[in-house]
Amino acid sequence: MAKSTRHAKYELYYRIVFVPKYPRSHLTGKTKERLEAIFAEICEDKGLELAECEVMPDHVHLFIGSPPKNAPSLIVNWVKGISARKYNQRYDDRVKWTRSYYVGTAGSASKGAVEQYIAEQEGEDA
């Protein structure tokens, strides 16, 4: 469902995947639960929508909705940086992420959605 700001209607979702720095890291059990809670906390604090969160033993897969003002690289930096810092401050075991990540866009603008937007704009001042 499209959301809006004062000047824009948008439906932006990003698939983000990243891995722990050390291959022997296993993101399972309590670590998995703690990370899921931290990712949800970060998204709430930053005004993002955490649509999906999968913490697998060897990688993290997030599906995040964001307003257009946030660049995908900024979202990734928030999620990785803040999650590692919060996790390492709260718990004795450590978590570190590699510098690399995957981000892909996901969203759709059907012909009907575009036509609806145009119809809504008729009669409004630009």
Of 69 and 117, the structure prediction assigns the larger pLDDT to 69
SS3 52: strand
Residue 126 pLDDT: 47
SS3 119: helix
- Confidence class of residue 2 from pLDDT cuts 50, 70 and 90? confident
Domain extent for 23: 3-125
Residue 71 pLDDT: 96
What's the structural domain count of the chain?
1
For 77-107, the pLDDT digits (tens) are: 999 999 999 999 999 989 999 999 999 887 5
Per-residue pLDDT averaged across 16-34, rounded?
Answer: 88
Q: Please check whether residue 26 is in contact with residue 59, taking contact to mean a CB–CB distance below 8 angstroms.
A: no
Phi, psi dihedral angles at 33 (to 5 degrees): -60, -45
Per-residue pLDDT averaged across 20-49, rounded?
Answer: 92
CATH number assigned to the domain comprising residue 94: 3.30.70.1290
Whole-model pTM: value is 0.82
Q: How far apart are CA 111 and CA 91, in angstroms?
A: 49
Q: Classify residue 42 by burial, with Cβ atoms within 10 Å: 0-12, 13-18, 19+.
A: buried
Q: How far apart are CA 118 and CA 109, in angstroms?
A: 13
